[in-house]
Structure 1
Amino acid sequence: MVKRVVVLGCGAWGTATVKLVADNVKSSKEFHEEVYWYVRDEDCNGRSLTTWINQEHINPKYLPTLDIPSNVSASSNIQKVVEEADIILVSYPSCHILWLVENVKKFIKDGAYFVSFCKGLILCPEENRIKLVSDVIREQTGKSCVVVIGATTAVEVAKQHFTEATIGSKNLTYAHEVKRLLQI
């Protein structure tokens, strides 16, 4: 089965991630060639951000010199982006994860899993605890969550500089799949 990959988050990390993934899936028999990208739509120089991305293939707000591959389809409709996804890559600020999870969990299909590129922790005052982003995603959605983390920057990834990250997962099959998806 060819897997559909989507990216949630349109900041610098989301932009770098979508470029890397879109470049890597073009010639893959394992992953669907088109990558859906959830972009929180906002006005940017008189046009919507999704219009910039879909028509000009750039994100003028974050990493504006980076060319977005033509096999990326940006949408501000979170349901449309998530409902067909097999692998959901999350490049979102940790302070917005609770909102994001609440808005995607009802659309996630069986067998889908998350990949978190998120840095930071989530304060849960009602439980008097601090939680990892991956734990919140797992608890709120009931889905597995692979973690990709390391001493790397969005610019390094976007420019395909040599860099490395660690993939953490309780599911070895998912970890290997994510490695194949991200490796240049």
Structure 2
Amino acid sequence: MNKVGVIGAGAWGTALACAMQRAGNEVLLQAYEPEVAEAINRSHANPIYLPNTNLNPNIRATSDLIDIIGSDVILMVAPAQHVRATCKALRPIWKKGTPLLICAKGIELDSGLIMSEVVGEELPDVEIGILSGPTFAIEVANALPSACTLAMKEMDRAMIMAKVVGSSRFRIYASDDIVGAQIGGAVKNVLAIASGMASGKGFGDNARAALITRGISELTRLGVAKGAKPETLMGLSGMGDLTLTCNSMQSRNFSLGVALGHGEKLEDILKVRKAVTEGVFTARSVCKLAASLHVDMPICKAVNRILNEGADINEVVDDLLARPFREEI
């Protein structure tokens, strides 16, 4: 049995704790709020972030980051914009040789760095893996069949780690494309907001299908420019995650887009949400990264204009639809 530590007791961190426990591991889940850790230990539930879900009593929780350091493997499930600060806190206490699996999906706002680059700056000697795929937290927590990509620098290490975290209900597919596994997970959040806006505006299924398909094209262009393998972006952590997130109200990003399409204000939507909607932050950082790599991403730019530049949603849609016809590539 391996000791697995999970940093971040939001919905996804809690669901991953469930998956790790079912895989036969001893699991310790770290929560930033002491009351969340207390609820998990006392009532075996996380009513704030994953309500109406019973947790296995063998999943223990703590609010102290240092308690995680004794783990054989650690999963980083802090929100993407908090990963650097979490790594800074871990640096003086990190146990050499402990692999860190990054489960946060996003691109850092100020730097435009993907999560492996952020971790590499703060914990330069750590062995990094990326765990990403089309997974809604509630379904993973309830042991519904799911699958993920686990990418590490060396394929044999990815295969070894897959046996630690995977199970029959949480299937793991190994990869050595760390960059590709991250680009898909980050960009799909922005595209899901666009898909939600299309639904909220009542544009129909044809428009959403076209948007998702052109979104895959944007995602792939950025990934390849960053050094990813195109086939990774057609897999679970790319097209798979995008397809899931762009088509369901379970997605925080899609549902936010729907609300925007209905005419609600962004600040009003976020005001009542406890969980982080990563695409709101990632829209700006994706555009920053795309500009640095000279990659054209019109859908992501459109979302960023609406979210962060105060652009009118109807005008932005009209601008997108008025783009010149071009060859499909």
Contact 1:23 1:69 in 2 (8 A): no
Q: 2:122 corresponds to which residue?
A: 140
Deviation at 1:14, TM superposition (A): 0.4
Is 1:108 equivalent to 2:94 in the alignment? Answer: yes
Higher relative contact order (CA 8 A, sep 6+): 1
What secondary structure is seen at the aligned counterpart in 1 of 2:23?
helix
Q: 2:27 corresponds to which residue?
A: 35
Deviates more, 1:95-104 or 1:156-165: 156-165
TM-score, normalization by structure 1: 0.83
Pick from 154, 157, 179 the counterpart of residue 171 of structure 1: 154
TM-score, normalization by structure 2: 0.48
Greater fraction helix: 2
RMSD, aligned CA = 1.6
Contact 2:68 2:74 in 1 (8 A): no
What secondary structure is seen at the aligned counterpart in 1 of 2:108?
strand
Deviations 1:136-175 (A, max 9, x none): 1123112011001122221221122222221111033431
Is 1:50 equivalent to 2:37 in the alignment? Answer: yes
Contact 1:138 1:144 in 2 (8 A): no
Q: Percent identity?
A: 27
Q: 1:8 corresponds to which residue?
A: 7
- Judging changes above 3 Å, is the alpha-carbon distance between structure 1 residues 97 and 179 closer, same or farther for their aligned structure 2 residues? same
Deviation at 1:53, TM superposition (A): 0.4
Q: 2:23 corresponds to which residue?
A: 24
CA distance in 1, matches of 2:94, 2:148: 27
Pick from 78, 102, 114 the counterpart of residue 92 of structure 1: 78
- Judging changes above 3 Å, is the alpha-carbon distance between structure 1 residues 160 and 138 closer, same or farther for their aligned structure 2 residues? same
Greater fraction strand: 1
Deviations 1:45-93 (A, max 9, x none): xxx22111001100011112222212222111101222x1221101121
Structure 2 alignment gaps of length 5 or more: 169-329
Equivalent residue pairs, number: 166
Structure 1's consecutive aligned runs of 4 or more residues displaced over 6 angstroms after TM superposition are: none
Pick from 42, 47, 56 the counterpart of residue 69 of structure 1: 56
CA distance in 1, matches of 2:83, 2:140: 22
**Mapping of residues 118-137 of structure 1, within 5 Å:** 118-124=104-110, 129-137=111-119
Contact 1:53 1:59 in 2 (8 A): yes
What secondary structure is seen at the aligned counterpart in 2 of 1:123?
coil
